[in-house]
Structure 1
Amino acid sequence: MSWSPTTSHWGAFRARTTASGELEIAPHPLDRQPSPLLGNVAGSVRHPTRVRRPAIRRGWLERGPGPSEHRGADEFVEVSWETATELVAAELDRVRREHGNGAIFGGSYGWGSAGRFHHTQSQLHRLLNVLGGYTASRDTYSHGTSAVLLPHLVGDAGTLLYRADTWGTIAANTDLVVAFGGLPLKNVSVTPGGNTEHPTATALGTIGESGVELAVVSPLADDVPKTPRARWYPIVPASDVALMLGLAHTLLTENRHDATFLDRYCTGFDTVAGYLLGADGTVKDAEWAAVRCGISAAEIRALARRMAEGRTLVTVSWSLQRTRHGEQPVWAGLLLAAMLGQIGLPGGGFGHGYGSIGDVGDDGPLLPLPTLPQGHNPVRTFIPVARIADLLLRPGERYDYNGATHHYPDIRLVYWAGGNPFHHHQDLNRLRRAFARPDTIVVHEPHWTATARHADIVLPATTPLEREDLGSGRRDTHLIAMHRVLDPVGEARDDYTILAGIAQRLGVGERFTEGRTAREWIVHLYEGWRGRLAERGHDAPPFGRFWADGEWRLPTAAEQPTPFAAFRADPVRRPLHTPSGRIELFSSTVAGFGYPDCPGHPVWLEPESDVEHPLWLIANQPRTRLHGQGDVGATSQAAKVRGREPIELHPGDAAERGIADGDVVRVFNGRGACLAGARLNDGVRRGVAVLATGAWFDPLDDPAQPGGSLCVHGNPNVLTEDVPTSRLAQGCSGQHARVQVERYDATPPPVRILRPPL
């Protein structure tokens, strides 16, 4: 069989079936650093956990819609597509008539596929908009805090999140990169829509050869690139802001700050300087910082002096804003960069997200991509995405968000497609209670994930290899023709076909489909995009030739200066979109909101203290899968320890607890508990444990456990707290938790999530 082209969020690849029916995977020929996540593909697509037929929770099927504590425990009954489609359409119609469209929550998080047409979020929202709208979510778990904060500080979040200086610019101009949160290589193989060539992995692996020094601030040695000029600063978790303020104090008191830049391009530095010098009664000097962050005062002063000696880029990972008070490290990092006076200079200033995802620092073309129109949502109610449990548990209650007051609507129907909240969300025992409240939960899923198991109606969705599409990432070098490689498993259908059938039952089929099949939509989207490119002077091939070739290299363009460069050149004629037109180190707007958990300038807010649970748990992104995707694949399964997700511990912390490498351990706090497999690693700071996200949630109900259940598979979100970063952004704070770890001496319960619940 010949190779077929396709792509994924972890990169473009080739696929084919052998004469015996086995699936073979090969990286794209141009990819010098293919993602190890490709190893999950072959084993996942035909795994026993695939949903093969529409299935209805027995209690819902027998008793009808209504709240139920049996979600996640009840058995499922398989039904025909005709029955499932009729049930979903009837329930959508009932909820609209009896409670209004605002009682429908359209929960889709957009990671379902790298394809532009079969982008599940667009598909679902298009249908719900045709039906009159839905309660939506805003922002992201990844960088939702920054997306709210940065417009107040620099007028625009997208410039920092998506138009950062490239690695080439850094290599050519930068003397020192100070990376708060690290530059972990494991993260850069993933990009929404995929990357064909993965240049960031190569850049991170070789940047030291250009002479750039790296000061990497992280509790984990694995977050430090293996380059000869990289130095590790093993910081105490949740103390980055203290270190930043100690550095800023040194720059100020040693007169190493750029007063001219601060006066011309910034506002509010006088207020921040007073805070650094102790206007609140506490001087934020290097000794003060050292007590909190675990880096010595001498090292702090030396680093500050080195930062002031040459071209320095201060970068903050997305992980640091995914914590309690996550606004503060972003704001304090911007303060440091402003004090150095290099914002707007090539390779200097402030960056956000380097090492967090594959396209930050990439030099691929910034071109619009084909997208499916979602239509207009007339319903105005929404939630910040990380407040889903609050939405379901607290109908009618008020919440603050970005200076305004809102109220949670009374959600009766949750329609979830293209996402897995039992991966993304925190305090999963609380989320289980929240999922018990709606009348009905509908889920599209290829696999029997925990989200599917907590639904009432589960509709089997195809994987990308079982359908056609167009694929490309934000800064990808190619548009990929995603050919169909496999027949669907069982009776699985693509999301478009599922939703078109529901739309037809509700009398809006023509409005949803516009009379097009899936293939006709793909051609339509491509040719419309091709026409728009032609207006820019780019000659893309007709669809037939593109599809036969399997890909088209996107046109390159000269690198454009960032908006900060234009602002630096002429801050009067090219001001930022802030109230002052300048960088707001103190924001009177934010201060005016009156949020004690997010004042008007960067501040140190003490993290939680917990004597009973002394270890800092870091729930970081996994190296063996994308979120929870691929957890049943070979790469992810090979990393398990006795079938559980590995937890990394410093050998000293393990010895104190009588834990040996390979032991099954119980990780717990007041919210929940899980089992994991111990891995000892002296590259983890003492007092820190690392349990990556994404192990499929597998709860064993047990009243003796905190929260009432034990995740036997090792999902850290049974331990993380479901609280917002602050009242400003209401972002996700799931990066950290306080825990205790003990050896589990009983016979470990079996992992059941790898078997279907039928």
Structure 2
Amino acid sequence: MKRRNFLKLGAAVSALPLIPSSMLAADKLTALKKNGEILTAARWGILKASVKNGKIVKSAPWKITSKIPNTLQNTMADLVYNTRIKAPMVRKSYLADPDNPKPELRGLDEWVEVKYEDAIKLVARELKKTREQKGASSVFAGSYGWQSTGNVHVSRTLLHRFMNLSGGFTGVTGDYSTGAAQVIMPHVTGSNQVYEQQTSWPVVLENSKVVVFWGLNPISTLRVAWTSSDEQGFKYFEQLKNSDKEIIIIDPIKTVSGKYFEGKARWIAPRPNTDVAMMLGMAQHLYSQGKYDKEFLQNYTVGFEKFVPYLTGQSDGVAKTPEWASEICGISADVIKELAIKFYENRTMIMAGWGIQRAHHGEQAHWMIVTLCAMLGQIGLAGGGFGFSYHYANGGAPTCAGGVIGGMNAASVGVVKDGKFLGLAQDQKQGGEATQAWLVNTAKVAFPLARIADALLNPGKTIDANGEKITYPQIDFIYWVGGNPIVHHQDTNTNIKAWRKPRTIVVNEIYWTPTAKMADIVFPTTTEYERNDITMSGDYSNMHIIPMKQVVAKQHGAKDDYQIFTDLCKAYADGLA
């Protein structure tokens, strides 16, 4: 394959039929508006930016949908002008000797400012060296985090595209948000559930008699969405508050949502991480009273006959009675019984959050919610059953019938040999066995995201994951974009120890986050307000297609992630060292 075709693959313009090339070329952009209002978007909604003499002076929501304020919508100026990384930086010990970079000094070493072109060459050279010496599986680019929204400048996909085309990498499965539930739910319900559309809010508001918030805090978490928030969730929770529904909040602490619904909702506070015991107590009471839907269980479920011996204590000698549950969860047996009967006798929607599954055996919480709802027999009835995404990205907002825009994709694994890019592995006529082996050693190497520290500290270790055996590769090169895993990951001290194991860590970042400070090479990147892009509003509603118009000029030495990976493609193809 010719070099220009490789660069075309790296730039990925052909993958974006709905997006004009002018969006990607700064020299073709029209002049920025220096004064007035500019429409753009971020994860916290569609925004109006007010600029004066080319500076942001104010940001506000494009449209107000409820009386619940979202202060994130007023932070645009702070995000653009404060705590920015102002130039490409390399850790002093790494710059002095990349082969002996003293990784134990990460987070402690001095930083040296370098030219952008030199940083690009350095990353390309060290990435090649790592692959040549230790193989593609030693390069970790799974990356993860709440990158800026936008379908073009989507940093993680751009990273994956570059890494795939240049030879492959080790990735990850799952995420931190729903790491347990998203694995167990397909085995229980046949689908993911946690990132799927919910029973629509109009149906809930019309038909539900009891609405339960089990471990969710929507008034706080609905401030953001994965795309751009359509801001419908606040409106619907506001309508719920003003309705005649009985609202029950089951949460160890009185959250922002608990305070918002104070005077309207009943708050029940079990001990943390005892939700399953409380649900088992309800289930046992329903079973002992004969108040469960035998027909639903017989017609629409399998396995109840295996669950009952555990519930009654026949299998282990411990009946999961409300009294037994009360000793564990701290809620009186009478309340547990009352709730169980209330849920059975009234059309009940159980809205569950994700925090209850972020623990050892966390998969049991959502599994037990589905089991309890199956006993109630209301799954599939209007306003009944369960939902695991009402607190996230405005789940339950009705889905629009319009189109959905596309964007970047991660491409396929490329083959690089003797300093030349030969094309995509799937296109090479090298024989099925060789091509398949290449794919196994690159695109198919992945482990659960939450095991990143364990993987770095224990290369070669084999773990069980979702019914399979996974062996950690020896990771020697990390490239992370659009996230802050040093504070996102559990057990920070162990994570920091793990991050001092690889030889090279590269980070694209806007701010001096803890993760940026723990890198060897840092590229300063633009915010979503310093570039043109396009996105949807509403992860579930697909309500709008939004032009994310550039609000201000690029700050300091910041580059778009798109530009950085385009330049890395050029460096990697030319073999610069």
TM-score by length of 2: 0.85
Tell me the SS of whatever aligns to 1:486: coil
Tell me the SS of whatever aligns to 1:441: strand
- In the other structure, the counterpart of 1:186 is 220
- In the other structure, the counterpart of 1:111 is 146
Alignment match of 1:144 (pick from 167, 174, 179) = 179
- Determine the C-alpha separation between the residues in 1 that align with 2:56 and 2:188: 53
What is the percentage of aligned positions where both structures have the same residue?
37
Matching of residue 365 in structure 1 with residue 431 in structure 2 = no
Tell me the SS of whatever aligns to 2:534: strand
- Determine the C-alpha separation between the residues in 2 that align with 1:242 and 1:202: 33
- Determine the C-alpha separation between the residues in 2 that align with 1:478 and 1:22: 24
Matching of residue 255 in structure 1 with residue 290 in structure 2 = yes
Tell me the SS of whatever aligns to 2:247: strand
Deviation, 1:490, is 1.0
Deviation, 1:226, is 1.4
- In the other structure, the counterpart of 1:675 is none
Alignment match of 2:382 (pick from 322, 334, 346) = 346
Larger fraction in helix: 2
Call closer, same or farther: CA 1:312–1:17 in 2, change over 3 Å. Answer: same
Matching of residue 169 in structure 1 with residue 235 in structure 2 = no
1:640-679 pair list within 5 angstroms:
none
1:480-502 per-residue CA deviation (whole Å, 9 max, x = no partner) reads 10111111121110001011111
Alignment match of 1:435 (pick from 471, 494, 499) = 499
1:454-469 pair list within 5 angstroms:
454-469=518-533
- Determine the C-alpha separation between the residues in 2 that align with 1:140 and 1:398: 20
- Determine the C-alpha separation between the residues in 2 that align with 1:338 and 1:466: 50
- Contact kept, 8 Å, 1:461 with 1:495, in 2: the verdict is yes
**Where does structure 2 lack aligned partners over 5 or more consecutive residues?**
1-34, 414-438
The amino acid across from 2:552 in the alignment is: L
- In the other structure, the counterpart of 2:44 is 10
Tell me the SS of whatever aligns to 1:3: strand
- Contact kept, 8 Å, 1:102 with 1:381, in 2: the verdict is yes
- Determine the C-alpha separation between the residues in 2 that align with 1:211 and 1:125: 49
- In the other structure, the counterpart of 2:265 is 230
Higher relative contact order (CA 8 A, sep 6+): 2
Call closer, same or farther: CA 1:268–1:38 in 2, change over 3 Å. Answer: same
Matching of residue 57 in structure 1 with residue 121 in structure 2 = no
1:24-72 per-residue CA deviation (whole Å, 9 max, x = no partner) reads 212113544552112332112111x211110000010012144511000
Matching of residue 89 in structure 1 with residue 124 in structure 2 = yes
Deviation, 1:351, is 1.4
1:546-579 per-residue CA deviation (whole Å, 9 max, x = no partner) reads xxxxxxxxxxxxxxxxxxxxxxxxxxxxxxxxxx
The amino acid across from 2:510 in the alignment is: P
Moved over 4 A (4+): none
Call closer, same or farther: CA 1:183–1:112 in 2, change over 3 Å. Answer: closer
Call closer, same or farther: CA 1:73–1:255 in 2, change over 3 Å. Answer: same
Higher mean C-alpha displacement, 419-428 vs 359-368: 359-368
1:510-567 per-residue CA deviation (whole Å, 9 max, x = no partner) reads xxxxxxxxxxxxxxxxxxxxxxxxxxxxxxxxxxxxxxxxxxxxxxxxxxxxxxxxxx
Higher mean C-alpha displacement, 51-60 vs 162-171: 162-171
Matching of residue 127 in structure 1 with residue 162 in structure 2 = yes
- In the other structure, the counterpart of 1:421 is 485
- In the other structure, the counterpart of 1:394 is 458
Matching of residue 214 in structure 1 with residue 247 in structure 2 = yes
- Determine the C-alpha separation between the residues in 2 that align with 1:332 and 1:139: 21
- Contact kept, 8 Å, 1:107 with 1:417, in 2: the verdict is no
Matching of residue 203 in structure 1 with residue 236 in structure 2 = yes
- Determine the C-alpha separation between the residues in 1 that align with 2:269 and 2:565: 50
The amino acid across from 2:70 in the alignment is: S
- Contact kept, 8 Å, 2:171 with 2:445, in 1: the verdict is yes
Tell me the SS of whatever aligns to 1:434: helix
- Determine the C-alpha separation between the residues in 2 that align with 1:338 and 1:9: 35
- Determine the C-alpha separation between the residues in 2 that align with 1:457 and 1:183: 37
Tell me the SS of whatever aligns to 1:43: helix
- In the other structure, the counterpart of 2:510 is 446
Call closer, same or farther: CA 1:304–1:477 in 2, change over 3 Å. Answer: same
Tell me the SS of whatever aligns to 1:267: coil
Deviation, 1:508, is 7.6
Deviation, 1:267, is 0.8
- Contact kept, 8 Å, 1:11 with 1:190, in 2: the verdict is yes
- Determine the C-alpha separation between the residues in 2 that align with 1:27 and 1:65: 50
- Determine the C-alpha separation between the residues in 1 that align with 2:525 and 2:511: 8
Matching of residue 305 in structure 1 with residue 354 in structure 2 = no
- In the other structure, the counterpart of 1:497 is 563
- In the other structure, the counterpart of 1:480 is 546
- Determine the C-alpha separation between the residues in 1 that align with 2:364 and 2:477: 36
Alignment match of 1:317 (pick from 346, 349, 353) = 353
**Where does structure 1 lack aligned partners over 5 or more consecutive residues?**
510-758
Tell me the SS of whatever aligns to 1:7: strand
1:186-213 per-residue CA deviation (whole Å, 9 max, x = no partner) reads 11121101123x1111211221333221
- Determine the C-alpha separation between the residues in 2 that align with 1:487 and 1:139: 36
- Contact kept, 8 Å, 2:480 with 2:506, in 1: the verdict is yes
The amino acid across from 2:527 in the alignment is: T
The amino acid across from 1:57 in the alignment is: R
The amino acid across from 1:194 in the alignment is: S
- In the other structure, the counterpart of 1:729 is none
Alignment match of 1:25 (pick from 44, 59, 74) = 59
Deviation, 1:321, is 1.1
- Contact kept, 8 Å, 1:112 with 1:120, in 2: the verdict is yes
- Contact kept, 8 Å, 2:91 with 2:521, in 1: the verdict is yes
- Determine the C-alpha separation between the residues in 2 that align with 1:219 and 1:95: 48
- In the other structure, the counterpart of 2:327 is 291
Deviation, 1:227, is 6.3
- Determine the C-alpha separation between the residues in 1 that align with 2:39 and 2:406: 18
- In the other structure, the counterpart of 1:385 is 449
The amino acid across from 2:209 in the alignment is: D
Call closer, same or farther: CA 1:344–1:20 in 2, change over 3 Å. Answer: closer
Tell me the SS of whatever aligns to 1:61: helix
Deviation, 1:183, is 4.0
- Determine the C-alpha separation between the residues in 2 that align with 1:21 and 1:228: 44
The amino acid across from 2:356 in the alignment is: L
Call closer, same or farther: CA 1:116–1:22 in 2, change over 3 Å. Answer: closer
